Amino acid sequence: MLFHFTGVADRRQWGQDPRELFPELWFTRFGQYGVDLFFIISGFVILMSVWGRTPGDFAVSRVSRLFPAYWFSVAFALAVFAATGLYAEYGPGTENMWQRFLPNLTMLQRGAGVSHMEGLYWTLWVELHFYALIALLVWRGVTYNRCVAFMIGWLLLGLYAQEGDSQLLKALLIPDWAPNFIAGMAFFLIYAYGSNIVPWLLVAASWALATAYWPRHIERWLYWHGVHEYVSPAVITAIFLTMALVATHRLDWIRWRRLTVLGALTYPLYLVHLTVLRPVTHYLYPQYGRWQVLAIAVAVALLLAYLVYRLVEQPGQRWLRTRLRTALTQIRSVRQPASR
């Protein structure tokens, strides 16, 4: 959130470069590495959640988990645009916000060549690629040895896709981000079954590739010459070391209950914070000081994220999960062709 609020060279929000407006917060320029951590955590958590499940069960859990808050965020972005005329100019297409709305509700807009309602939705498109790949593993049946084979195969095929410059295979295998997901999966195997040299070797290979790929993940207008060259490998290494501590149970002593609530707010906060920033800065800055406006934007984003969590996510997940399970039961029960 602070990276998007103060660490990017985007003059549209504040009317000037926020990095010049908040020189004291220079460290927020490195907030983009939250994506690296997010994808590693995703590999860890998704593998943990699919163990013993069918592809249908996996689909139900992911759709019910992601879509209620996401649908709200898409509608909220459109509502802000309708009320203020403010919107994100992002994506491959030239559509206005009304044209983007319906395709964005599917979460498949990037594949259809339609612009995102919010630029940060790109990570969800990468995440969907991971889900499609992990669904193949779930369909085959999740076991330790199949997980290892899956990770090794994915890592190698991703490298071959880049070597052969195959656009289709690059789209399918997301080789730029595959090391993060694979590392997360390997960390879970270590966490659940203890140390083994094979998953540790996969972690080491993923770390080496992730540190090599970081220039691809930084837009040219975000690049800080003379700094990113040293900070990027250091931050990525710190992320891997932190996850290694998790995998080896050295952080099990952390038991603060409020961390669960904070963790639950991360997804809705991720979805709405940029949409909140535009009207707050547009109407309050520079009438009020930069720190006051920043504090208001952060507070509004956190409050809205909490409300989405309590009033949209929790009831929406229950409602959608129940109906998807009923539908799945019906789909599984039908064995005969429909009568004419």
pLDDT at position 338 is 65
Q: Distance of CA 4 to CAs 57, 147, 172, Å?
A: 35, 35, 28
Residues of the chain with pLDDT > 90, as a percent, come to 81
Model pLDDT for residues 232-274, shown as the tens digit of each residue: 999 999 999 999 999 999 999 998 888 888 899 999 999 999 9
3-state helix, strand, coil in the chain (%, to 5): 75, 0, 25
For residue 217, is pLDDT > 70? yes
Model pLDDT for residues 111-158, shown as the tens digit of each residue: 999 999 999 999 999 999 999 999 999 999 999 999 999 999 999 999
Contact 69, 265 (CB under 8 A): no
Give me the DSSP letters along 56-80: HHHHHHHHHHHHHHHHHHHHHHHHH
Q: State how far the Cα of 246 lies from the Cα of 96, in Å rounded to an integer.
A: 44
Structure-block tokens of residue 110: 């990037």
Whole-structure pTM value = 0.93
pLDDT at position 318 is 96
Q: State how far the Cα of 214 lies from the Cα of 203, in Å rounded to an integer.
A: 16
- Long-range pairs for 194-198 at CB < 8 Å and ≥24 separation? 195/248, 198/148
pLDDT at position 246 is 97
Which amino acid, one-letter code, is at 76? F
pLDDT at position 339 is 64
